[in-house]
Amino acid sequence: MTRHNTIENFLEQLVYCGDCIAWGGLIETQGYGVMRMNGKSLKAHRISYEYFVSGIPNGLEIDHLCRNRACVNPAHLEAVDHHVNVLRGECGAATARIQQEKEMCPKGHQYDLANTYRNKRGHRFCRKCARIRANENYKRSRITIAVRG
């Protein structure tokens, strides 16, 4: 293994600043540290979590509790699902709060227990709108079959 692919090189790139441990290597445009390892470009915070804590379970992503994307301090990193990660983010929390305060879908149907369902990521959807879309798609498919027939 070449020097630039080793965990030792990863550890050499750490910059201790206050509570955070900043990544001293390449920082991508969104603010995350990046390192090339085993022929792949990997996020530095993910390398840190896997090295110091454990493997990242399928379906989870690493959240920066300190909100510093360049931080690789394992005490500041937590494996969470996407929904939790977005809600914890500054923009995500504001957007989620606005969406949760809405009482009606964009078409004017009430968001209530009977008319609302959530997908795997926790996003809210209107059942009436879903039924309308399904009926429209079904009618479109029947017209296409009749034209071809």
pLDDT digits (tens, 9 = 90+) for 29-65: 899 999 998 889 999 999 999 999 999 999 999 999 9
Domain range 1-101, CATH class? alpha beta
Look up residue 107 and give its DSSP letter. T
pLDDT at res. 2: 47
Provide the percentage of residues in the chain whose pLDDT is more than 70: 87
Domain ranges of the chain: 1-101, 105-149
pTM, rounded to two decimals: 0.60
> How far is the CA of 121 from the CAs of 24, 46, 60, 82, 138, in angstroms?
33, 21, 11, 7, 27
Q: What is the pLDDT of residues 126-138, one digit of tens each?
A: 999 999 999 998 8
Residues of the chain with pLDDT > 90: what percent? 55
